[in-house]
Amino acid sequence: MAADSLDDFIATAARTLGLALDPEWGPAVKGNLIVTLHHAATVAEFELPDEAEPAPVFRV
Amino acid sequence: MTAQQAWPQQALAQQAWASASAIAEAVSSGKTSARTVVDDALARIVALNPTLNAFTTVTAERARARAAAIDAAPGDVKKGYSLAGVPFAVKNLFDVAGLATVAGSKINRSRAPAKADSPLIERLEAAGAVLVGALNMGEYAYDFTGENVHDGPSRNPHDPTRMTGGSSGGCGGAVGGGMVPLSLGSDTNGSIRVPSSLCGIFGLKPTYGRLTRARTFPFVASLDHLGPFARNVRDLALSYDAMQGPADDDAACVGRALEPALPQLARGHEGLRVAVAGGYFRKGASAEVLAALDTVGNALGVQDTVELPEAHRARAAAYVITATEGAELHLDRLRHQARDFDPAVRDRLIAGAMVPASLVVRAQKFRRWYYERVLALFQRYDAILAPATPCTAPKIGQQTFMLDGVEMPVRPNMGLYTQPISFIGLPVVAVPVPLKPLPIGVQIIAAPWREDVALRIAHALEQMGAVAAPTPAV
């Protein structure tokens, strides 16, 4: 996600989630989101079969 | 000669470093009283806490009452206590009756006092141990440093200008500094193993679901574990055995039958197949990490290297699950009390709240894939060795360190080697290698439910002198 669109995403997500984001927190939130999305991409680029089950499985 | 005089004066002077099992033997046999032991521990806490900042609450009155009850118990009852008179303390995310469970936060200070102790406290006290207080921790356990903006940093007993590691920082300082022989902490991504490594003590992170987490403040439900810290392996096993057992009020606790580890220690490491983790766990490793791994590996005669497949992705997936589950837990507090958080914790949690759910589900799918691949390695090996931390204790306030030639932030990266292991809930004993000037830990990783294997190997290493909790000059 490009830096500018990430700014837009953060602003929209904050509004959607009801989070009052102080502009001073913006750079740190963005920095953390970039790191977390990088980790998520590292996981997502690994191919898994459609049948792969998530680790936590609900059992009745 | 009175019973208390029979307790060797030299031992009294050295009691700061007495093992839990030695204290229990002395109390249950009447060589000393629980009250003497507890008063001595309370005096050390008063003397050392201004330096180490390990305790946030000292439960002196409760501890003295409990010690008096143990001393008043009939001789046969006292003899049955495996932890008679042993002082212990808990990370302040454990419920302690009458105290607000603060979990290192400012926000939780307004919570109603807990109505009852955590079951793990109840079980240790049922074995004769005595709770003496609650311990400092990183806010809401989202931390690897042991620093806390509200209570001040936990300080490393080997050098108080250095970090204890976190988030169970007070656990590391209190046990490593000789304030108590035993403490309980939590480990979501490494919070038992990191402070064990930096403070030079032993820590046990049991299999996910082994010890109940009931009546403790959570962080990441699918990754949270609880476990003990001690200065020797016997004490780890003694306390672990006392805490095992089913529990109704923790959905993750599987309620296995008791599997006592203490009787297994004497079997040593004979016949156990041990390998050292390569690849991700050795790439760019520091000189201290390699020295510690070599010390432990050579003592065990380890020749094989094994690669945990896609360990870097396992760490990445643990990072994503932590950020998002943690954010969900705190979402209402982020909406209404955001300014009362530690800013470093708040900003990570807000970012976590914004991660798309599809990426989190993918991380949980990868988790199962990785679990099955790593489990297959335990067909060939009983245990795998890996570093516990990328370095010895950094300075308090240090923001970055060099890792494989790259400057990296300290806070999220101290768990580089622990996260791929707790991610799939494997049991681990962190053992301290007493390097100079600062100790560092090695993880002994076993197959699910085989805490006994990791403890046997740790005990054998201790007997050989390869690992030990060094005594700091506090």
Identify residue B450 by its one-letter amino acid code. Answer: R
**From B360, which residue of chain A is nearest by alpha-carbon distance?**
A40
Higher pLDDT among residues B248 and B342, named by residue = B342
Q: Does A2 touch chain B (CB under 8 A)?
A: no
Predicted model pTM: 0.96
For A12, the domain range is 3-44
Q: Classify residue B190 by its DSSP letter.
A: S
Distance between CA atoms of residues B24 and B32, nearest Å: 10
Please identify every residue of B annotated as catalytic: 91, 167, 191
Alpha carbon distance A4, B176 (integer Å): 48
Strand-pairing partners, residue B401, are: B408
Whole-angstrom distance, CA of residue B22 vs CA of residue B407: 45
Which secondary-structure segment (H or E) carries B412?
Answer: helix B410-413
Whole-number pLDDT of residue B4: 39
B271 has a pLDDT exceeding 60: yes
Q: How far apart are CA B212 and CA B224, in angstroms?
A: 10
- Tell me the nearest-neighbour CA distance from A26 into chain B, angstroms: 8
With vertex at residue A23, the alpha carbon angle to CA A21 and CA A26, rounded to the nearest 5 degrees, is: 80
| Subunit contact A42:B312, Cβ cutoff 8 A | yes
Q: In this structure, is residue A38 part of a structural domain?
A: yes
User: Could you say which of A22, A30, A36 has the minimum Cβ distance to residue B352?
Assistant: A36
Tokens of residue B324, six digits: 């998002």
Whether A26 has its CB under 8 Å from any CB of chain B: the answer is no
pLDDT mean over B104-127 = 98
Q: What is the pLDDT of residues B414-443, one digit of tens each?
A: 999 999 999 999 999 999 999 999 999 999
- Structure-token pair, residue B345: 């914790």
pLDDT at residue A60, as a whole number? 73
**Cβ-based contacts of B223 with chain A (< 8 Å):** none
Say yes or no for a CB contact (<8 Å) between B364 and A55: yes
Does the residue A49 lie in any domain? no
> Scanning the structure block, which residue is given the tokens 């760019």?
B284
Q: Could you please report the per-residue DSSP string of B269-283?
A: TTT--EEEE-GGGTT
Dmax over CA atoms of chain B, in Å, equals 72
**Does residue B405 come out as left (phi exceeding 0), alpha (psi in the -120 to 50 range) or beta?**
left
Q: Name the pLDDT band for A2 (thresholds 50, 70, 90).
A: low
Q: Is B252 on the interface with A (CB under 8 A)?
A: no
Q: What is the pLDDT of residues B250-260, one digit of tens each?
A: 989 988 899 99
- A55 lies in a domain? no
**Angle, vertex CA B129, rays to CA B128 and CA B130, nearest 5:** 120
Residue A52 resides in a domain: no
Question: Distance between CA B369 and CA B442 in Å, rounded?
Answer: 26
Listed residue (B441, B455, B269, B279) closest to B374, CA to CA: B279
Q: Under a CB-based contact definition with an 8 Å cutoff, are residues B87 and B63 in contact?
A: yes
> Exposed e or buried b for every residue in B231-242, given b needs 16+ CB within 10 A?
bbbbbbbbbbbb
Q: pLDDT-derived band of residue B6, with 50, 70 and 90 as boundaries?
A: very low
Give the C-alpha separation, B408 to B400, whole Å: 5
Instruction: Check A55 against B354: CB less than 8 A apart.
Output: no
State whether B365 and A44 contact (CB < 8 Å). Answer: no
The two three-digit tokens of residue B442, written as one number: 């090695």
A44 touching chain B per CB within 8 A: yes
Of all residues in chain A, the one with the smallest CA distance to B351 is: A33
Q: Which of B312, B354, B361 sits opposite A54 (nearest CB)?
A: B361
Task: Tell me the pLDDT tens digit for each residue of B200-247.
Answer: 999 999 999 999 999 999 999 999 999 999 999 999 999 999 999 998
Report the DSSP pairing between strands B182-187 and B87-91: parallel
A12-22: average pLDDT: 97
Q: Find, among A58, A49, A27, A45, the residue nearest to B317 by Cα.
A: A45
Is residue A51 situated within a structural domain?
Answer: no
For chain B, the average pLDDT equals: 95
Examine residue A17 and state whether it is found in any structural domain, yes or no: yes
Residue A58, in any domain of the structure? no
Domains, chain B, with CATH or none: 3-464 (3.90.1300.10)
pLDDT digits (tens, 9 = 90+) for B324-374: 999 999 999 999 999 999 999 999 999 999 999 999 999 999 999 999 999
Whether A7 is in a domain gets the answer: yes
Query: Considering only B9-13, B267-271, B401-405, which range has the smallest mean pLDDT?
Result: B9-13
Question: What chain A residue is nearest to B314 in terms of C-alpha separation?
Answer: A43
The candidate with the shortest Cα–Cα distance to B191, out of B168, B172, B223, B222, is: B168
- Cα–Cα distance list, B143 to B167, B214, B242, B244, B414 (Å): 5, 22, 28, 27, 9
Interface test with B, best of A9, A19, A38, A43 (most B CBs within 10 A): A43
Across the interface, of B222, B315, B368, the residue whose CB is closest to A52 is B368
Domain count, chain A: 1
For residue A15, give the H/E element and its range. helix A3-17
Question: Tokens 């989202």 sit at which residue?
Answer: B142
Would the pLDDT of B263 be above 80? yes
Mutation for testing the A interface, residue in B310, B320, B325 having most A CBs under 10 Å: B320
Interchain pair A55, B371: CB under 8 A: yes
